[in-house]
Chain A
Amino acid sequence: MPAYLYCVLPAEAPDPAVNGIDDAPLRALRAGAACAWVADVSVAPQPDLERIRAHDRVVRAAMATGFTPVPVRFGQVAASDDDVLAHLQSRDYRADLERVSGCVEFGIRIVDPEAHASGEADSDPPPVPDGEQAGAGAAYMRTLAARVHAAERSRTRSLDAARAIDAALASGVREARVESSDHPPGAVVAHLVQAAAADAYAERARDLARGHPPLRIVVTGPWPPYSFVGT
């Protein structure tokens, strides 16, 4: 029977004590240094909010074991238990587990409200000017160009703020990802933070987030380390 994967833990981690998506009972499969929390499924579940929450609930339960899981993306199904075991053997999870060990993730989302103000127009073409008028085509092109420049300015401004916040939060942060975001125009920071430093980090991040008006900056976390797995 196909097996749906939730997360991978060190082999010595306990068996799951929660149920998964659609209330499916979970089990642990161990091979080498790793242990996968899985559930039997007949077909890959389609994502909806409730199932996404259920997936996260399992990964959070894994966090609560005292070990730090490598979260698996929603919807990953192996054909059989044997395939899960083969996967645990073939991908050496020791490095992944070591990378996130003892850490939680925080997210910082930076959105430029000025980009938002012009946001709905972005997807629609500007009104086509009256073709009879002299210079109408040029005006149309100028409108388009101005829009592109405004979005670019927003991304640059957001990314600058993201880098400044990232630089100011170095303490307790094991790893950082700083990326610009097109939709919505802005930037996203993900931080892998030592669990013991999480409270101090959150307080400091909240303070820093106030320092970049007019940008809107929202700190979320702690999360399981979703953004710090794989490459």
Chain B
Amino acid sequence: MDEPDDVVAAARSAPDPVEEWQSLPDHERLALVELVNRVLDKGVVVTGEVTISIGGIDLLFLGLQVILASVESLERAEHVKTHKLVPPQRR
């Protein structure tokens, strides 16, 4: 490949988060929202600047919408099991 790395990275086809989110059962969807919130919005900031890209803000906002949509159809007081502390496998 003679394209520079960043062009390749940009062209890589990311799955549409809305479609992916909608395809998940409620439990997994809620766990995914909590994951997105943690990875994008918590954790130590190293470079002294926080730059959440437009894409990141969209993901965070979308996630919060998803909570509302999912919580409604969940039984009250569900426990959402995230993966045990080993690399999560996609089923």
Taking Cβ atoms with an 8 Å cutoff, the residues of A that contact B are 5, 8, 18, 22, 42-50, 52-53, 55-57, 60-61, 63-64, 70-78, 87, 96, 104, 107, 109, 111, 113, 116, 119, 183-184, 202, 205-206, 209-211, 213-224, 226-227, 229-230
Contact = CB atoms under 8 A, between A and B. Distances in A.
Interface string B1-31: 0001110011010110100110000000011
Q: How large is the interface on B (under 10, 10 to 19, 20 to 34, 35 or more residues)?
A: 35 or more
5 contacts: A52-B35, A52-B40, A222-B82, A223-B38, A229-B43
B71 A216 contact: yes
Contact of B20 (A5, A49, A229): A49
Contact of A53 (B9, B35, B86): B35
Residue among B6, B67, B86 with most chain A CB within 10 A: B67
B83 interface: yes
Contacts of A202: 79
Contacts of B80: 218-220
B6 A226 contact: no
- Determine chain A's interface SS by DSSP, over half rule: mixed
B36 A218 contact: no
Contacts of A60: 83, 85-88
Given A60-B87, A183-B64, A184-B64, 5 more contacts: A49-B20, A50-B15, A111-B67, A206-B77, A226-B42
A206 B78 CA distance: 7
A87 B78 CA distance: 41
A133 B66 CA distance: 40
Nearest to A71: B43
Nearest to B86: A64
A73 B64 contact: no
Nearest to A115: B68
3 residue pairs, one from A and one from B, having the closest CB atoms: A73-B43, A210-B77, A226-B42
